[in-house]
A = this chain, B = another copy of it.
Amino acid sequence: MRELLKNKGFKLTPQRELIFSIFLEQRDHVSVDELYDEIRKLDSSIGYSTVWRNLKLICKLGLAREINVGDGITRYDQVTHGPHGHLFCVKCKKLVEFSVDKIVGFLDQVAEDKNFQIESFKIEIQGLCDDCRALNEKTSV
């Protein structure tokens, strides 16, 4: 961690250390606000900008990616989980991952056909998750 930062000219501050470690232990895809709330529980003196800037830095270092599901909130997705798609529940906003191994070949082919140089891809299914679906049926009867 310290080395990864040092090599690129970044400094290791207590705030940064805390933000990195808390972010990396999140299982879900957190937003700035969500991470900020977590951080504040541990050190209420850390500012919002600092959390925001460090999330950006985490992305720049290649440890996470920004995800935009269209609800106006940017979430941060650890790339250490490997390439994957997302199921996004439009009701409860839950984001669940799934493996996309079976279709990366197809995507590579598409890009090759159009002479497009892939930087990243995004595969997202939007709809209702298991829970919200059950809930919907109950309340609509």
Contacts and interface: CB of A to CB of B under 8 A. Distances in A.
B110 A125 contact: yes
Nearest to A128: B117
Interface stretch (A14-22, A42-50, A96-104): A96-104
A123 interface: yes
A110 B126 contact: no
B106 A130 contact: no
A63 interface: no
Interface stretch (A3-11, A30-38, A66-74): A66-74
Nearest to A130: B115
A90 interface: yes
A37 to B, nearest CB: 23
Contacts of A117: 127-128, 133
A123 B126 contact: no
A119 interface: yes
A41 to B, nearest CB: 29
Interface of A: 66, 68-70, 74, 85, 87, 89-90, 96, 98, 102-103, 106-107, 110-111, 114-130, 133
